[in-house]
Structure 1
Amino acid sequence: MGIDAIRNLLIGHVTTSVLAVVFSLFSFGLLFYYSWQLALLATGLVAVLVGVTALLVFLQLRHQRELLYLQGKVASLLFGLIQGLPKLRVGAAEKRAYALWAERFSEQRRRTIQAQRVANVQVVFNAVYAVLTTLAIFSMLGLSEKIELPLADFLAFNAAFGQFQAAALSLVGLFSSFLLVVPIYERLEPVLEAVPEVDPTKTDAGELTGDVELSHVAFRYDDDGPLVLDDVSLRARPGEFIALVGPSGSGKSSCLRLLLGFEKPLSGSIYFDGQDLPSLDVASVRRQIGVVLQNSRPVVGSILSNILGASNLGIEAAWEAARMAGLEDDIKSMPMGMHTVISEGAGTFSGGQQQRLLIARALVHRPRILLFDEATSALDNRTQEIVGQSLEKLKATRIVVAHRLSTIQNADRIYVIERGRVVEVGNFQELAAAGGLFSRLVERQTA
Structure 2
Amino acid sequence: MTSAHRDTSSSILSVLEELSATWRWGGPPTLLTISHRPPKPTVPAILARGVDGHTPLDLLAHWIDQCHRHRGIVNTQRDLGVDAVAVSGEIDGQHIGYAMDRSGLEYLVRGQRHGPERRRTSGTDVAAGTRPPDRLTERLAELVWRLAGPPPPAAGSRIRDMWPTAGLVDLDEDELHERYAPPAHNRGHVRLVTVSSIDGLAAVNGSSAALTSSGDQRVYRLIKREADLLLLGAGTIRAEQYGQTALSAPEIARRRANGLPPYPAVAVVTRSLDLDLSGPLFQHSAAGHTHPRPILIVPAAAAAERGTAVAEAAELLVAGEHDVDLHQAIQTLRQRGHRRIVCEGGPSLAGQLAHADLLDEICMTIAPQLLAVAGPRITAGPAGQPADGRWQLHRSLLDEQGNLFLRYTRPGPSDRPVG
TM-score (normalizing by structure 1):
0.27
Relative to its length, the structure with more strand (as a share) is 2
Structure index of larger Rg:
1
TM-score (normalizing by structure 2):
0.28
